[in-house]
Structure 1
Amino acid sequence: MSSRPLEKRELRAAMRAERKRLSGLDPTVAHRVADHAGDLPPAAVVAVYRAIGTELDAAPLASALATAGRRLCLPVVVEPDAPMIFRRWAPGEPLEPDLVGVPAPLPLAETVEPELIVTPMLAYDARGWRLGQGGGHYDRTFAALPAALRVGLAYAGQEVAGLPVEPHDVRLHGVLTEVGYRPFA
């Protein structure tokens, strides 16, 4: 076994603990992030996510984007090792668990292709690399939708000096935190 997966596994454990710590510090963080919704790159259709565990809550951002006239969608896992699909969604509409148990729009919702994908993460670095949960759902989806802008949603404290990178990893175009939007070169 190579050292890289072990390195990522250890980093994931450390960053889960750090994200948990950060999530308990300030209950207004998600609303402060939403205050920067207008700083995101232009996109008519924006994919957001439903937070699980200590992921930064994207609900206030979703509300701000919807108020600004952006159409929203949520990712849906329909096959275990395939890219996710996206279904149109608006705050308050009903959700049901997808294949991996994440709340997702009902199957009757229109399937759309987002221009901007907001993604949760455990960590990010200044080069735009993202450390996710390890399932590969977002990296497969990013690879399948190369024209979509990829923006991480995180606490500013989730930034690390550098991340191990594997061939399947896909860089972010920017990150949105409580201190604002930061594009990556």
Structure 2
Amino acid sequence: MDSTSDKTALRRRLRTLRRELAAAHPGAAEAAALRLPLDRLPEFQSFSGYHPMGSEIDPAPLMRRLAETGAVPALPVAESLDAPLEFRELDPALPLEADAAGVPGPPLWSSAVVPDLVITPLLAFDRRGRRLGQGGGHYDRTLANLRAIQPVFVLGLAYAGQEVDALPDEAHDQRLDAILTDAEWIEVR
């Protein structure tokens, strides 16, 4: 499964599965947020969620719960398609703007944030902390840069049905520290 065509086929199947899971579990985002054990997270002053695209599980309920701790919320912003993502403070009073990838996020003039906790979307995960993303490498590059600066806790957010037995592991892949699903909390550190 190390060839590009194998990963492309796998991503296609997993996107279909995720769409089916989203349709079958409309309350999954709220269920996941309620399962978050705040006492199992390391101390954090800021966190980043993401703007859900397509059938990605919506992190909004989880972000509201994390914001109740007093931590600064942020969203990733792509200033260019080949650079790591940057994080900007999320101010609910400001409208979101499309970034270079067409994903809504805080305006580029919003305050930059270096999050201690990053919530990531995914197509699939395994219990060893591996995640399969969309294939652009944005989160892997971004997490590698963040981890070079400071410790960062990476939380995968998913439908329980996105779990697979094992995912391919490449040298550039950044592992998750935990996964939160609508069914359980999975700690991999």
TM-score relative to the length of structure 1: 0.93
With over 3 angstroms needed to count, the CA separation of the structure-2 counterparts of 1:93 and 1:178, relative to structure 1, is: farther
Give CA deviations for 1:135-154 in whole Å, capped at 9, x if unaligned.
11000001101121111000
2:134 partner SS: coil
- Amino acid across the alignment from 1:155: Y
Q: Distance in 2 between matches of 1:33 and 1:56?
A: 9
Tell me the equivalent position of 1:111: 112
Residue-pair matches, total: 184
Task: Give secondary structure in 2 for the equivalent of 1:117.
Answer: strand
Give 5+ residue unaligned stretches, structure 2.
none
1:36 to 1:21, Cα distance in 2 relative to 1, 3 A: same
- After superposition, what is the alpha-carbon deviation per residue over 1:34-92, rounded to whole angstroms, capped at 9, x for unaligned? 11344361312010001010000111111122223221100000122111110011445
State, as a whole percentage, how many aligned pairs show the same letter. Answer: 42
The residue that corresponds to 1:100 in the other structure is 101
RMSD (CA atoms): 1.6
8 A contact 1:48–1:73 mirrored in 2: yes
Q: 2:164 aligns with which of 132, 141, 160?
A: 160
SS in 2 for 1:152: strand
CA distance in 1, matches of 2:82, 2:94: 27
Deviation, structure 1 residue 94 = 1.5
Cα distance 1:62–1:90, how it changes in 2: closer, same or farther (>3 A)? Answer: farther
Q: Does 1:29 align with 2:15?
A: no
Map of 1:129 onto structure 2: 130
SS at 2:66's partner residue? helix
Q: State the AA in 2 paired with 1:99.
A: A
SS in 2 for 1:169: coil
Task: Letter of the 2:186 partner, please give it.
Answer: R
Higher mean displacement: 147-156 or 131-140: 147-156
